[in-house]
Amino acid sequence: MAELRALVGVKRVIDYAVKIRVKPDKSGVVTDGVKHSMNPFCEIAVEEAVRLKEKKLLKEVIAVSCGPKQCQETLRTALAMGADRGIHVEVPEGEVEKLGPLQVSRVLAALAQKEKVGLVLLGKQAIDDDCNQTGQMTAAMLDWPQGTFASKLSLEGDKLTVEREIDGGLETVRLKLPAVVTADLRLNEPRYATLPNIMKAKKKKIEMMKPADLGVDTSSRVAVLSVEDPPQRTAGLKVESVEDLVAKLKEAGHV
């Protein structure tokens, strides 16, 4: 079996089928008593990692989730799908709003180095914030090559071929491991976790740690200090020729 190990990020989000309601004070959306599940793009990333392991191309699949204690259920779903281990980087419920893509990227990069993985697999984005930044930031922090929006993935030795859809058709890139890959919708169709696997996953121990254990500070988040009104757009000049335009610009003192 290959010695390559993969780290897969799984995010707990409001279930895609739930109708989102905004809080009365407009401070966010209602999350209490609302069904949560694994981010659909993260499910695709887990499925791809498990398939690579079934092909004997990976030795171990490690699922990681960053957030409150409820994230453990999301991790157990990943374990039931076929992940070997689960790591929960716990962030108190009151501090979750400070947890942006930058902070999560720092956690993932630190874990990738700690676990000595050769592949980081993530969903291309989360359906709650649609940021589409975590994979790219993680690759930058690790200084690893990246393949984003993967619709097809193949692994041979230490070479990874990533195919993705672009406006002009398909684009294929070859990466040398270690690397970061983000999964698009067409990469695969995730399997349903079977009841026996769900029961087994409930018995598996999830490793607990805090961001500080990885040397990561999540207490602050990059914030916008001030926002100014955009400049007002004025109507353009109506001219009949280039000469007229130059003359009017000179008249206005722009030339």
233-247 pLDDT, tens digit per residue, is 666 667 778 888 888
pLDDT tens for 13-44 read: 988 888 878 888 877 777 777 888 999 999 99
The segment with the largest mean pLDDT, out of 19-28, 170-179, 221-230, is 170-179
Q: Which CATH number fits domain 5-228: 3.60.150.10, 3.40.50.620, 3.40.50.720, 1.10.3720.10?
A: 3.40.50.620
Q: What is the pTM of this model?
A: 0.80
Average pLDDT, the chain: 87
Out of 59-68, 218-227, 245-254, least confident range: 218-227
pLDDT tens for 196-213 read: 999 999 888 899 999 989
| Residue at 218: amino acid letter | T
pLDDT tens for 77-121 read: 999 999 999 999 998 877 777 788 899 999 999 999 999 999 999
pLDDT of residue 1: 42
pLDDT of residue 93: 77
Percentage of residues of the chain with pLDDT beyond 90: 56
Distance of alpha carbon 144 from alpha carbon 72, whole angstroms: 28
Take residue 118 and report the two structure tokens written for it: 């050769």
pLDDT above 60 (res 188): yes
Asked, as a colleague might, if the bond just before 178 is cis with ω within 30 of 0, I would say yes
Distance of alpha carbon 6 from alpha carbon 46, whole angstroms: 10
| Residue at 162: amino acid letter | V
pLDDT of residue 224: 47
How many residues belong to the chain?
255
Per DSSP, what are the bridge partners of residue 229? none
Percentage of residues of the chain with pLDDT beyond 70: 91
Higher-confidence residue: 20 or 225?
A: 20
Distance of alpha carbon 87 from alpha carbon 237, whole angstroms: 61
Out of 157-161, 176-180, 240-244, least confident range: 240-244
Q: Which residue is associated with the tokens 């018995």?
A: 203
pLDDT of residue 14: 85
All residues at 6 or more sequence positions from 143 whose CB lies less than 8 Å from its CB, including other chains: none
